[in-house]
Amino acid sequence: MKKMFKVAMVATVLAFSGMASASTSTETLLQDSLAQQLKLTPEQIKTVNTLREDAQKEIGKINTDALAQDAIVNMFQTGVWDDGAAKKQLSALGDIQSQVRYQRAKYVFNVSRVLTPEQKQHLQQLLIEKQLY
């Protein structure tokens, strides 16, 4: 039960975090799609790939100890609800999501800095339409 709950919590956090949840193949497809849509030059693609790697390293540094907390799992096992412990654990999970979203927004901002004015405008449209941040 504990292991299933932890897996579910990790999946939930990563699903909300977007970039962190993408597998390598999904990331590559997303990057390829954006590169095609924005008509990136080979040099821009190289820069964007470096920026993505940097963002992934920063996301990897995020402390995910909150995912190992068993407060909510223990409540299910004991049948006793603890409002404070539940709020504390869920708040910690929210903090992780927030940190990942921050890194993702920073990544998209850094990508925008290597784009032409036309590409930037197209990226802004994509951000609004697809909420890529």
In this prediction the pTM is 0.68
Instruction: Find the domain containing 81 and state its range.
Output: 2-130
Q: What CA–CA distance (Å, rounded) separates 48 from 77?
A: 47
Higher-pLDDT residue of 27, 16? 27
Tokens 């590169």 correspond to: 35
What's the structural domain count of the chain? 1
Residue 128 has pLDDT above 60, yes or no: yes
pLDDT of residue 69: 75
Higher-pLDDT residue of 48, 2? 48
Q: Quote the mean pLDDT of the chain.
A: 79
Mean pLDDT, range 82-107, rounded to an integer: 92
Share of residues in the chain with pLDDT > 90 (%): 52
pLDDT of residue 121: 94
Q: Are 62 and 99 in contact (CB under 8 A)?
A: yes
Which one, of 96, 124, 129, lies nearest residue 108 by Cα?
124
Tokens 């999970």 correspond to: 93
Q: Are 18 and 101 in contact (CB under 8 A)?
A: yes
Q: What CA–CA distance (Å, rounded) separates 75 from 72?
A: 5
What is the tens place of the pLDDT at every residue in 47-68?
Answer: 999 999 999 999 999 988 877 7
Question: Measured between alpha carbons, how far apart are the two ends of the chain, in Å?
Answer: 33
Mean pLDDT, range 74-79, rounded to an integer: 92
Residue 8 has pLDDT above 90, yes or no: no
- Strands of the chain, DSSP E: none
pLDDT of residue 4: 43
